Structure 1
Amino acid sequence: MTTSLAPCSTPTAALLAAQQAAFRAEGPVSAATRQARLQRAIDMLVQHCDALCQAMGEDFGGRAAVFSMMNDVAGSLGSLKHARDHLTEWMPDQPRPSVSPFDNFGATAWVKYQPKGVVGIIGTWNAPVFTLLSPLASVFAAGNRAVLKPSEIAPRTAEALARAVAEFFAPEELAVVTGGPDVAADFSRQPWNHLVFTGSTAVGKRIMQAAAEHLVPVTLELGGKSPVLVGQSADIANAAERIAVGKGLNSGQLCVAPDTVWVHETQADALVGALQSAYAGLFPTIAGNPDVTPVVNAQHFARVESYVADAGARGARVLMAGDWPSAEGAAQRRMPLRIVVNPPADSEIAQHEIFGPALVLRTYRAISDAVAELNAGERPLALYYFGSDATEQQWVLDHTLSGGVSVNDVVMHPALHDAPFGGVGASGMGHYHGHEGFLEFSHARSIYSAGSHDPRREWGMLPPYTEQFAQMVRGAITP
């Protein structure tokens, strides 16, 4: 039976068709080819890092180049270099036990890891380079080709990346598609061999629904309301500083940013005061401070402000870390960190991922009560625990589920290049980084090779079946 492919009616479809044809023509993808592609991506980033950081700064309306260099460029380089240096350890066939008793006659088995083909990668605006090139490291390590779709909310970065990629790669190997929501929707509907998406849970559902049309496997990194559990044994000043640092990164516009902090009711005031002090130390001024990343656009700024205003109108206590909001700061979309204490469960800020310069603080009487509330909600991309009580720490790890965990710190586990990064449930599925990323974008192909002699006929294992064979099978049915 033969099937005809639909005509390439869009630029994305044409790129996909060209890459799939090149993939089929290439045959096995050697370790040297994979390493060369990774090295070119590394060289591309090194050569274009300043242009990319400038573009990211312009897209945000003033994000510090040093943050973009650290988060997007250095973070991506770490993923690419780790994959380059370790893929030869991941590629070899894995011998597996063969089928008994045929293994006695020379039958063998192994698993062969082969590239899936062409992978589509949809990035997001908050880390517009990292969310494309960090998964690309795993995609290239597994021997695939790729097409990137940057976020339309960061259009200057998208264009800068497209220019950089075109300089270092043929479009049949790696390409960039730019455009708005219509282009993104078309991108998600294509028959990729695998599709990666980073973004919100709501959009992730639409991506998965579109991918289902062609049974495209997906890797989804979706975020969520990542909680911080502050145990009573925690050093409050240290916890506050690390939470403030993590929340200050990109002004909370990170998928693993701390969202809701749980603290014992007797330590709440101390934690609030320490957060205010720590945040003010990091950002002594807000308006005009280049270290304070603006909220990316007016729409997202208004969204975060509405969350805070709604909570205050419903009776929640709203405190500030950082200097008083000013008209100048608002015009720049730079605002201090607002700490919203015990907002009602039905408030906007309690129900939605904040993704901006605001933080929910909730109090508990027993940490088990906090964990019970967490477990009643959606599983987050990240969970954070502070404390020196090893028994409590283990209990928290055993009784919660999240994409990843940082202990006595926040937002650090995604920097582990040799450990999987991914979500669970509403925060996503699948992984990239390290060996697990290589496996994510490889097809694990089981192979059985028969031995030189087949004993089934002489043992009565082939039709017509005998009573003797039936008794032999029955004898193998044991507990």
Structure 2
Amino acid sequence: MPRETPMDQPLISPAQRAVADAFERMFELSRAQPAPDLAARLDRLSRLRALVQDNESRFEAAISADFGHRSQVETAIAETLFVLVEIKHATKHLKKWMAPRRVATALQFMPAKNRLIPQPLGVVGIISPWNYPLQLTLAPAIGALAAGNRVMIKPSELVPRFSALLQELIAAKFDAGEITVTGIEDEIAKSFASLPFDHLIFTGSTRIGRLVAEAAGRNLTPLTLELGGKSPVIIDRSADLDEAAARVAYAKLLNAGQTCIAPDYVLLPEGKVQEFADKLDGRMRGMYGTNPDNSDYTSIVSDRHYARLEALAADAAAKGAKIVQLAKPDDPAWKAKRKFPPTLVVGATPDMTIMQEEIFGPLLPIVGCKDAGEALSWINRHDRPLALYWFGKDAAARDEVLARTVSGGVTINDCLFHFTQVNQPMGGIGASGTGAYHGEWGFNNLSKLKPVFYRSPFNRLADLYPPYGTKIARLQKMLRFMS
């Protein structure tokens, strides 16, 4: 049966038709040309590294303009350096990753052999988010290019300056058949996931992730979904509250809380709630002060998102929470710059909207629990989180939490840093995502690890052929003995 191409589907705009044409060209190239060798893949990674290094200041300026203000240091550390480390790691290990892998052969098939041979999937689509546009676009692209794939990227419409810059630079460094960046028009966003990619990577909200999965499912397109959710912090009785407050404050306010693995709420013993809130408030003031002109503090990406955060805080206050803020969000000096003041929601309860949806901003609910069991029950009643953070010195309590919770990743006595481990996979579970990437995990995820069995001329597999007679009885006896 002939393959149905995107051009067979009714398209409603020239932009959609252009994207479908670009996909079709890539698809045909991926089938017509052999898998790129090591030298070709290393060359692509080298060009990507040069693109990032040579345009670091341009990326920083574009991202800051899209946000209203983005801390230059945060862009350098959380985006540029992260991407460069990923490229260096892939370049160093790519020859080993590409090599056929020895696999044990069962005794009854000896002296045959098994191998796993990594092969490119073909065309990989990437739908990237706005919150870390450089990192969350190029990190999965690194894995895709290392695996020998061709890549199509759909950036977020919320960062148009970054998207236009990336499109310009990619077009200058790469052939359109290697990697291409589409536009950000609404109709492209709606149709991109419907293209029959060999693999599709989406990073964004759980709500949009469901729509992407539905569209991709019509083509049986394999998915990597990097979603979000509510990532908890557990403060054990044995924790150093000063240390925990400093580390939670940093992780929560990085990128003004617009981080998919940011701490979303804190669970700790009831008797320590106010003490910890006071320490957090002090740390936040020490880090960012009370001046909205502080260049270290990042703006909220849009007026709509700012208003959503205001509504979360107002709803919590109306339902009895104590709101602790460095300033008022409706203060013209803060609102004009879309800088939402760091906010603690002390005594949050399940009926508050802030405890029911991902916050994605600098608001942090604090919830008191009678004991560790109540904290675990709270977490396990809800969707499995993308990240979980635990603070304390009691190893038994730590191991109990690790054994009784399931999450995308965990950092102990800090936050965020499991994500930065290039030898560890990054991925969610359930509503927080599926699949993983980073380093070799990304290479494997975006390769077909093809099993190959090499038959030996000395093996007696022919004894399985009819007519069976007495020889099959002897063979059955031998196989039962080996099983």
Structure 2 counterpart of 1:85? 92
Distance, in Å, in 1 between the alignment partners of 2:140 and 2:474 is 54
Residue 465 of structure 1: how far off its partner (Å): 3.0
Q: 2:145 aligns with which of 121, 136, 140?
A: 140
Residue 464 of structure 1: how far off its partner (Å): 2.9
Residues 81 and 383 (structure 1), Cα distance of their counterparts in 2 relative to 1, 3 Å cut: same
Distance, in Å, in 2 between the alignment partners of 1:445 and 1:301 is 48
Q: What is the SS of the residue equivalent to 1:110?
A: strand
Contact 1:286 1:292 in 2 (8 A): no
- The residue correspondences of 1:96-245 to structure 2 (distance < 5 A) are 96-104=103-111, 107-245=112-250
Structure 1 counterpart of 2:82? 75
- The residue correspondences of 1:386-397 to structure 2 (distance < 5 A) are 386-397=391-402
Residue 187 of structure 1: how far off its partner (Å): 0.7
Task: Write the letter of the residue equivalent to 1:29.
Answer: P
Q: What is the SS of the residue equivalent to 1:112?
A: strand
Residue 266 of structure 1: how far off its partner (Å): 1.4
Q: Does 1:291 align with 2:296?
A: yes
- The residue correspondences of 1:299-310 to structure 2 (distance < 5 A) are 299-310=304-315
Distance, in Å, in 1 between the alignment partners of 2:67 and 2:222 is 32
Q: Does 1:469 align with 2:472?
A: yes
Deviations 1:210-231 (A, max 9, x none): 1111111000100111100011
Q: Does 1:352 align with 2:357?
A: yes
Residue 468 of structure 1: how far off its partner (Å): 6.4
Distance, in Å, in 2 between the alignment partners of 1:4 and 1:346 is 48
Structure 1 counterpart of 2:22? 15
Residues 347 and 207 (structure 1), Cα distance of their counterparts in 2 relative to 1, 3 Å cut: same
**Identity value in percent:** 36
Distance, in Å, in 2 between the alignment partners of 1:474 and 1:343 is 67
Q: 2:454 aligns with which of 449, 452, 461?
A: 449
List, as ranges, runs of 4+ consecutive aligned residues in structure 1 with deviation greater than 6 Å.
none
Structure 1 counterpart of 2:332? 327
Distance, in Å, in 1 between the alignment partners of 2:308 and 2:115 is 53
Q: What is the SS of the residue equivalent to 1:388?
A: coil
Residues 31 and 316 (structure 1), Cα distance of their counterparts in 2 relative to 1, 3 Å cut: same
Contact 2:108 2:479 in 1 (8 A): no
Structure 1 counterpart of 2:14? none
Residue 292 of structure 1: how far off its partner (Å): 1.5
Distance, in Å, in 2 between the alignment partners of 1:286 and 1:383 is 31
Task: Write the letter of the residue equivalent to 2:364.
Answer: L
Contact 1:82 1:418 in 2 (8 A): no
Contact 1:324 1:336 in 2 (8 A): yes
Q: Does 1:26 align with 2:33?
A: yes
Contact 1:49 1:73 in 2 (8 A): yes
Distance, in Å, in 1 between the alignment partners of 2:223 and 2:155 is 17
Residue 357 of structure 1: how far off its partner (Å): 1.3
Distance, in Å, in 1 between the alignment partners of 2:69 and 2:458 is 72
Distance, in Å, in 1 between the alignment partners of 2:280 and 2:436 is 33
Q: Does 1:37 align with 2:44?
A: yes
Residues 473 and 18 (structure 1), Cα distance of their counterparts in 2 relative to 1, 3 Å cut: same
Contact 2:349 2:367 in 1 (8 A): no
Q: What is the SS of the residue equivalent to 2:389?
A: strand
Structure 2 counterpart of 1:377? 382
Task: Write the letter of the residue equivalent to 1:469.
Answer: I
Q: What is the SS of the residue equivalent to 1:291?
A: coil
Worse-superposed segment, 192-201 or 71-80? 71-80
Q: What is the SS of the residue equivalent to 1:293?
A: coil
Task: Write the letter of the residue equivalent to 1:5.
Answer: T
Task: Write the letter of the residue equivalent to 2:128.
Answer: G
Q: What is the SS of the residue equivalent to 1:339?
A: strand
Structure 1 counterpart of 2:5? 5
Deviations 1:171-203 (A, max 9, x none): 110100122332111110000010000000000
Deviations 1:445-476 (A, max 9, x none): 0101111245345x4x3223336635853775
- The residue correspondences of 1:362-441 to structure 2 (distance < 5 A) are 362-441=367-446
Distance, in Å, in 2 between the alignment partners of 1:129 and 1:182 is 23
Q: What is the SS of the residue equivalent to 2:55?
A: helix
Structure 1 counterpart of 2:66? 59
Distance, in Å, in 2 between the alignment partners of 1:112 and 1:314 is 58
Q: 2:346 aligns with which of 312, 317, 341?
A: 341
Residue 267 of structure 1: how far off its partner (Å): 1.2
Distance, in Å, in 1 between the alignment partners of 2:392 and 2:97 is 36
Residue 101 of structure 1: how far off its partner (Å): 2.4
Residue 99 of structure 1: how far off its partner (Å): 4.7
- The residue correspondences of 1:254-293 to structure 2 (distance < 5 A) are 254-293=259-298
Q: What is the SS of the residue equivalent to 1:40?
A: helix
Deviations 1:84-137 (A, max 9, x none): 111112111112223542314xx2211101110110001101111111001111
Contact 1:151 1:158 in 2 (8 A): yes
Residue 337 of structure 1: how far off its partner (Å): 1.4
Residues 111 and 62 (structure 1), Cα distance of their counterparts in 2 relative to 1, 3 Å cut: same
Q: What is the SS of the residue equivalent to 1:7?
A: helix
Distance, in Å, in 2 between the alignment partners of 1:348 and 1:393 is 29
Contact 1:262 1:370 in 2 (8 A): yes
Task: Write the letter of the residue equivalent to 2:20.
Answer: A
Q: What is the aligned-residue RMSD (CA, Å)? A: 1.8
Unpaired stretches in structure 2, ≥5 consecutive residues: 12-16
Task: Write the letter of the residue equivalent to 1:138.
Answer: G
Distance, in Å, in 2 between the alignment partners of 1:280 and 1:314 is 26
Q: TM-score, normalised by structure 1?
A: 0.95
Residue 358 of structure 1: how far off its partner (Å): 0.4
Contact 1:223 1:256 in 2 (8 A): yes
Task: Write the letter of the residue equivalent to 1:226.
Answer: S
Distance, in Å, in 1 between the alignment partners of 2:193 and 2:35 is 27
Residues 454 and 324 (structure 1), Cα distance of their counterparts in 2 relative to 1, 3 Å cut: closer
Distance, in Å, in 2 between the alignment partners of 1:456 and 1:74 is 54
Residue 310 of structure 1: how far off its partner (Å): 0.7
Q: What is the SS of the residue equivalent to 2:46?
A: helix
Worse-superposed segment, 422-431 or 13-22? 13-22
Residue 384 of structure 1: how far off its partner (Å): 0.4
Worse-superposed segment, 374-383 or 337-346? 337-346
Residue 309 of structure 1: how far off its partner (Å): 0.6
Unpaired stretches in structure 1, ≥5 consecutive residues: none
Contact 1:286 1:334 in 2 (8 A): no
Number of corresponding residues:
474
